[in-house]
Amino acid sequence: MAIENVSLPFKLYCLTVMTLVAATYIIALRYTRVTSADTYFSTTAVCITEVIKLLISVGILTKESGSLGNLCSSLRENIVGSPKEMLKLSIPSIVYAVQNNMAFLALSNLDAAVYQVTYQLKIPCTALCTVLMLHRTLSKLQWLSVFMLCGGVTLVQWKPAEATKVQVEQNPWIGFAAVSIAVLCSGFAGVYFEKVLKSSNTSLWVRNIQMYLSGIVVTLAGVFLSDAAGIMEKGFFHGYTLYVWLVIFLGSVGGLYTSVVVKYTDNIMKGFSAAAAIILSTVASVLLFGLQITVTFVLGTALVCISIYMYGLPRQDTTRINIETTDKPSKERLLNV
């Protein structure tokens, strides 16, 4: 995707918001999962997040369409009149639903900082899916950074840091298994959705609406398959506090804000954002959850941050040498490689 010509302050704004949303979401979610033994149903939170994403997307599409008449026409054409497209978007809906539920499970068993570092395994997973599904190639530096990242995550998990301020029983192995599943889901769903987006000129917000409608159906099914008995006894909103609503809000905004970040920033800035989020999560984990920093944790985190930066460095592609002599359409195609 070409980076549009926008001001540096706006890019820094995007970077700052992305970093704060990512770090705060992980910390808040962790806090809501470990500070009370009788906690809320995570499946209901995932479902409500999908509903909020849908409402925001409809609002943005309304503004994009210009009038309610145009909005209704667009929805009738792309939602009611396109069952095949709805079915196509149900695939990432299911995968994202699994990913989001795994994030809740992982953060019930892993410290926020450990989760944040381990979750960066989504980079090699996404890279592999990109190579297999979109037939792209990675540079040698990118492959090196992938192996460095895996080494960093291994160091972080080698002697898991102990937290002392949690009130629920934790199992690091369950947490690591859950985050591994979330990583696989993130890589596949992200690349699949990108492929669907680039296969037509359909608006991003129309695609989001198609996906979130399917997502609501999928997550509602998950609610009643997993927690039907508990919900019938305690209620759909059992255990909800202001912090839980904060988690839902941040999850909704973070999911939608990703498209803005992808459009207006680049891989290097996203890499800095991921590294900054890791640092913020670590500091917060020390203060809020009694995280005990180990040498292997520090080394592993540093290795992960360096690998994220290396992965986002621009490729030295010889096809770009004569880019100024090509016609405008060809130039744009090269920039989108």
Give the residue from 1, 81, 50, 103 showing the smallest Cα distance to 211.
50
Residue 2 lies in a domain: no
**212: its two tokens:** 């979130």
What pLDDT shows up at residue 337?
38
Tell me if 119 sits within 8 A of 183, measured CB to CB.
yes
Residue 211 lies in a domain: yes
Cα–chain-centroid distance for residue 85? 23
What pLDDT shows up at residue 323?
37
What pLDDT shows up at residue 269?
62
Domain that holds residue 81: 8-335
Residue 286 lies in a domain: yes
Residue 20 lies in a domain: yes
Query: pTM for the whole thing?
Result: 0.78
How many CB atoms are closer than 10 A to CB 77?
A: 12
What is the C-alpha separation between 29 and 108, in angstroms, rounded?
9
Q: What angle do CA 198, 201, 203 make, to 5 degrees?
A: 100
Contacts 24+ apart (CB under 8 A), 190-199: 190/126, 190/129, 191/126, 191/129, 191/130, 191/133, 191/134, 192/91, 192/92, 192/95, 192/129, 192/133, 193/92, 194/134, 195/133, 195/134, 196/88, 196/89, 196/92
Query: From residue 11, how far is each of 8, 147, 263, 278, 315 by CA, in Å?
Result: 5, 29, 10, 20, 21
Tens digit of pLDDT at every position of the chain (337 positions): 444 556 777 777 777 888 888 889 989 998 998 887 778 999 999 999 999 999 999 999 999 888 888 888 888 888 888 888 888 888 988 999 999 999 999 988 888 888 888 888 888 888 888 888 888 887 888 888 888 888 888 887 666 555 555 656 778 889 999 999 999 998 898 888 878 877 878 888 888 899 999 999 999 999 999 999 999 999 999 999 999 999 999 999 887 876 666 556 655 566 667 777 888 888 888 888 777 788 888 888 888 888 888 877 776 654 443 434 444 444 344 334 3
Residue 3 lies in a domain: no
What pLDDT shows up at residue 267?
53
Dihedral sign for Cα atoms in the order 273, 13, 264, 5: negative
How many structural domains is the chain composed of?
Answer: 1
Residue 266 lies in a domain: yes
